Amino acid sequence: MLVFAGLGNPGAKYQNNRHNVGFMAADAIARRHSFSPWSKKFQGLIAEGALGGEKILLIKPQTFMNLSGQSVGEALRFYKLDAAALTVFYDEIDLAAGKLRVKVGGGSGGHNGIRSLDQHVGNAYRRVRIGVGHPGVKEMVHGHVLGDFAKADREWLDVLLDAIAEDAGLLAMGDDNSFMNRITLALREKLVPTGEDDRPPPKAPKQQSHIRQARAQQPPAKVPESGPMAAMLKKLFGKD
């Protein structure tokens, strides 16, 4: 038996947040593979089904993100499973929006849900990191992850969630690389940006100095038509 956990915050207020993309992934898997209806257990919502020949328990902790480990840890202990049986779906700001990566182990990267899981079950579990992009500055991260996906995001998000659900059996079989490749291929086939290019944006063209800009904006000097200066210029340039 394996446990697939999607992380998020409970309640309608949060359901479309970037921070809830783990819940969205769990819901997509349950729908695609006809899992049992969601029911309350282990301080969360659970659904049962099968993927890749393995029995799967899907769980969405209802403890709020910061205490996700309480719910998932309780489920693992009940079934006498260790962290190796756990796969977690969650949002990752250090990946470009639309990019997905899978790894086992590692640090929390500042993600409170992962930090809680590490405290309760250790860190030797599979992580499906779903990129939601970074707002650019640390001070904006909280508002970014607790903000809703934009309408434009649905173009890649719906394709990504469908692909996760379609190929989740590869995760159950431990074929992480094939799973990642299938996701990337699905996005490319739909002509959806995958965030493959993580390079910083090109630098803006160098602007003129403020002195040159000021000079360029000055109106051209007027040539006098009469008076001593005019007479001198006519004599200099041979004009009558």
Q: Is 19 a catalytic residue?
A: yes
What confidence score (pLDDT) does residue 112 get?
95
- Of 8, 92, 81, residue with least CA distance to 45: 8
Residue 51 has pLDDT above 50, yes or no: yes
Residue 213 has pLDDT above 60, yes or no: no
User: How far apart, in whole angstroms, are the C-alpha atoms of residue 13 and residue 131?
Assistant: 21
Q: Give the mean pLDDT of the chain.
A: 87
What confidence score (pLDDT) does residue 190 get?
80
How much is the average pLDDT of 174-187? Answer: 96
Q: Which of 19, 111, 120, 144 is catalytic?
A: 19
Q: Are 58 and 23 in contact (CB under 8 A)?
A: no
pTM over 0.85: no
Burial of 191 (0-12, 13-18, 19+ CB in 10 A): exposed
Topology at the third CATH level for domain 2-189: Rossmann fold (3.40.50)
Residue 234 has pLDDT above 80, yes or no: no
- pLDDT for 52-66, tens place per residue? 999 999 999 999 999
User: How far apart, in whole angstroms, are the C-alpha atoms of residue 164 and residue 100?
Assistant: 10
User: How far apart, in whole angstroms, are the C-alpha atoms of residue 68 and residue 59?
Assistant: 10
Element (H, E) at 185: helix 176-189
Calculate the CA dihedral of residues 219, 225, 226, 231 and round it to 10 degrees. 100
Q: Is 136 helix (H, G, I), strand (E, B) or coil?
A: coil
Higher pLDDT, 89 or 196: 89
**pLDDT band (50, 70, 90) for residue 228:** low
Residue 196 has pLDDT above 50, yes or no: no
How much is the average pLDDT of 123-128? Answer: 97
What confidence score (pLDDT) does residue 123 get?
95
Q: Are 126 and 170 in contact (CB under 8 A)?
A: no
Residue 216 has pLDDT above 80, yes or no: no
